[in-house]
Structure 1
Amino acid sequence: MNAQLDMFGTGETVPKEKSRRRPTSAIAAVDVTMLTHVEMADALEATGDYRILRRLAKPAPANQLAPGFGRIGVVVDTETTGLKQAEDEVIELGAVAFQYSDDGRVGDIIGVFGAFQAPSKPIPPEITRLTGIMDEMVRGQSIPMSELEAFLAPADLIIAHNAAFDRPFCERLNPLFADKAWACSNNEIDWRARGFEGTKLGYLMNQSGLFHDGHRAVDDCFALLEVLRQPKGGERAPFAELLESSRLERVRVWAEYSPFDKKDVLKARGYKWSSGEDQQPKAWWTEVDAGMLETEKAYLEAEIYGRSDFTLTTKHLTAVSRFKR
C-alpha cells in the first residue's frame, strides 16, 4: 500500500488515501512506504515548495560539565496574573541552565527548574486562556525558594526575552535575582538584521523551522535557548551577539522639559515616555551605548532644545543594573 507522511508525527507512515494532494515531481518517484516522517519532511523541504515546522526537542540535562565552557547562563520566564508589576503576581516560574564560553558558544543544558505559585486572587480568565494555567493547577503550590536559590547561585548571566518585564517580577520573588547580570534577548539582538520578520518568540521559532507549546514557562525557556544557539545563514549564533551586548555599558538619557511639539521627533528616534513612576523622571527617555553619549547630547542640542544650556539627566547602566523597575 502506498503511504505518505503525517507531518506532526515522528517516524511512522500513514495511508496515502488520507490525502488527495498529488505529490510534487521532486518526490513523485520516491517510494514513500520506505520513508520515515523525518525523511519525508526533508524530501518535502527539498522541493522548495514547503516549509516544515518541527516540534522543539527538550534534551535532558547533561550529567557533567563539559570542558571549555566555563560560564553558566540561566534562561528564565515567568507567567503572571497580569502586566502590572506592582500589583500582579507570578503563577509559574521556569528556568533552564546551560554552559557557555567567553566567546559566545553555547554548551550543554545542565539543569531545569519549574514551579507553580498560587496567587492571592483567582487567575483572570484571559490569563488562563493564554497560558492554560487554571486555579486548580496552582492551588496550594509555592515556589521552593531554597531550591531556586541553589539553582541560580552559580549563574553568570540571566536571560529573559523581555527582561524589563520579567526582572522586576523575579526580584519580587527572590532578592538573589537583583545581584545577577541580566540580558534581554528581545532588545539586545538585531533580529531583523538576521532575517527575522518579528521579535516575538513565536515568530523566531517559526522562522527557525520549529514550534513548541508556548506560554508555559519551562517550554518557553527551552524554545528561547534553541533560537539563541542556532546560527542562521552561517553567521555567528544570536547568543554570541547577546553576550557581547550585555557586556557594554549603557547610558539612560532623559530629555526632560523637551518641547511638546518635539514628541514625535523623539519617538521616531526611539525615545519612550516615562510617567514618573518609581522615582524616575517624567520625560522621554532612551538608552545609548556609553561611547555614544556625546553624540546623543549633540542631537538633543540641535534637534530638540535648540540650545546648549540644558541639563541632561543620565544614568549609567551595566548588565547588573539594567532592566530593573
Structure 2
Amino acid sequence: MDASDDYRLLRRVPEEPPIEPDDGSPTMSVAVVDVETTGLDPDSDRIVELAIRRIRMTLDGRLVGLGERRSWLEDPGRPLDAEVVRLTGLTDADLEGRRIDDRTAVSVLRASDLVVAHNAGFDRPFVERRLPQVAGGAWACTCNDVDWAALGFEGRSLSHLMFQLGMFFDGHRAASDVAALIAMLVHRLRDGRALFEVLLETARRDTVLVDAVDAPFEAARVLRARGYRWNQRDRRWRREIGEEALGAECEWLDRKVYSSGGAPAYSRVTWRERHA
C-alpha cells in the first residue's frame, strides 16, 4: 500500500524521534516552542499553555541530541472563550491555579542558540512578553522562513504540511505541536536536504525591512499588490525583502509611491529582530 499511488499512508508523529550518532560535526542547540493563548493580541491576551523541547541539530539537519519534554499550563486569570475551549480542549478548571515554571523556561530558552516555532510572528511576542528575560534571542519560523510553494507543498498550516510529509498528530495542544515541529525539522526532502537545513539557510540571512512611511492613501492598492502589509500598530505599509532587492525596491517606491515627495524608511533585520 505504501508504494501505491492510489493510497496515502500517514504515520503518527513519534513522541521520541530517533537520535542519530554524534560524529563531531558542528551543531546548534535549538529550542522548539509552541503556545496556546486566550486570543491573538499579545498586549491583552495571555498564554495558557507553553511547550518547549530543546534539541541538538547538526547544520545539515541530523538530530543528535534530545532534551526533556516540558509543558506548562497557566491560569490567565479570566474565563476562557468558548472557541479556545473548543480548539484546545482546555477548560477553566484545567488552568485554575496553574503557572509556568519561569526559571526552567527561561533557562532552557537562554541556553539555546535558536528558537523555532511554526508561526514565530505569533509565538515570539507572547513568549517575550511573558518571559522578558529571553527577549532578543534568535528565532526562526517554519511557516514563513521556508518557501513551501517552491518546495512543491500546498498551504502552510502545520497540520496540512505534516499531512503532505506523510504524518499526522493531535493538533491545537502545544506539546503535540512541538513534537510535530521536531519531526518536520528532521524530515528529508527528495533532494536529500533536511527541512532544518532549508530553514537555517533562509532564517540566518539578513534582510531589510522597508517601511512606506507617510505613503499617500491612494498608494494602498499598489503597495498591497507589491507584497506590502499594513502594520496596524505602527500604522504604515511594511515589507521585508532581501538585501539584493533593495536597489530595485527603492526605484519602484520612487516611481509608484513617492513621485510627489517623501521617502521610505529602511532597517536591517537579523534573526534576532525578525518575528518580534
TM-score (norm 1): 0.79
Which structure ranks higher in relative contact order (CA pairs < 8 Å, sequence separation ≥ 6)? 2
Offset at 1:175? 1.8
Alignment match, 1:230: 187
- In the alignment, structure 1 residue 292 sits paired with structure 2 residue 245: yes
Q: 1:240 deviation in Å?
A: 1.0
Asked whether the equivalents of residues 22 and 64 of structure 2 are also in contact (C-alpha less than 8 Å), the reply is: no
Equivalent residue for 2:265, pick from 293, 306, 313: 313
Alpha-carbon distance, 1:66 to partner: 6.8
* 1:247 equivalent in alignment to 2:200: no
Question: 2: CA distance between counterparts of 1:115 and 1:146?
Answer: 12
1:106–1:239: 8 Å Cα contact kept in structure 2?
no
Listed as ranges, the matches of 1:165-314 within 5 Å are 165-275=122-232, 277=233, 280=234, 282-306=235-259, 310-314=262-266
Q: How many Å apart are 1:110 and its aligned residue? A: 2.4
1:134–1:67 Cα change, 3 Å: farther
Task: Please say which structure displays the higher CA radius of gyration.
Answer: 1
Runs (5+) with no aligned partner, structure 2: none
State the alpha-carbon separation in 1 of the partners of residues 190 and 22 from structure 2: 29
1:138–1:69 CA distance, 2 compared to 1 (3 A): farther
SS in 1 for 2:147: coil
- The residue matched to 2:6 in structure 1 has which SS? coil
Range moving further from structure 2, 175-184 or 119-128: 175-184
- Could you give the per-residue CA deviations for residues 137-158 of structure 1, whole angstroms, max 9, x where no partner exists? 1111101111112222320000
Q: Distance in 2 between matches of 1:133 and 1:101?
A: 36
Indicate which of 138, 141, 153 corresponds to 2:110. 153
Question: Which portions of structure 1, spanning 4 or more consecutive aligned residues, are displaced by more than 4 angstroms?
Answer: none
Deviates more, 1:65-74 or 1:161-170: 65-74
1:45 matched to 2:13? The reply is no
One-letter amino acid of the counterpart of residue 262, structure 1: A
Which residue in the other structure is 1:116 paired with? 73
Q: Using a 3 Å threshold, how does the CA distance of structure 1 residues 149 and 256 change in structure 2: closer, same or farther?
A: closer
Q: Could you tell me how far 1:292 is from its partner in structure 2?
A: 2.2
Aligned length: 275
Deviation at 1:312, TM superposition (A): 1.7
Percent of residue pairs identical: 37
CA distance in 2, matches of 1:111, 1:71: 16
Given the alignment, which residue of 100, 120, 124 partners 1:143? 100
Give the AA of the match of 2:86. R
Paired with 1:201 and 1:92, the residues of 2 have a C-alpha distance of: 18
Distance 1:304 1:106 in 2: 47
288-297 or 115-124: bigger deviation: 288-297
Q: How far did residue 187 of structure 1 move? A: 0.9
Look up the SS of the partner of 1:205 in the other structure.
helix
Equivalent pair of 2:36/2:50 in contact (CA under 8 Å): yes
Measure how far apart 1:61 and its partner are: 9.0
Q: CA separation of 1:61/1:81 partners in 2, compared to 1, >3 Å: closer, same or farther?
A: farther
Partner Cα separation in structure 2 for residue 149 and residue 66 of structure 1: 29
Q: Equivalent residue for 1:75? A: 32
CA change 1:66–1:74 in 2 (3 A) is farther
List per-residue Cα deviations over 1:64-123 (Å, max 9, x = no partner): 977425310011000000111111100000112111224444433223211100111011
Moved more, 150-159 or 202-211: 150-159
Separation in 1, partners of 2:62, 2:11? 24
1:137-188 residue CA offsets vs partner (Å, 9 max, x unmatched): 1111101111112222320000111111111110111123213101111111
RMSD (Å) for aligned C-alpha atoms: 2.0
2:185/2:195 contact within 8 Å kept: yes
Structure 1 pair 221–193 and aligned structure 2 pair: CA distance change class (3 A): same
C-alpha deviation, 1:52, in angstroms: 1.4
When normalised by structure 2's length, the TM-score is 0.93
Given that residues 69 and 107 in structure 1 are in contact (C-alpha distance below 8 angstroms), is that contact kept between their aligned partners in structure 2?
no
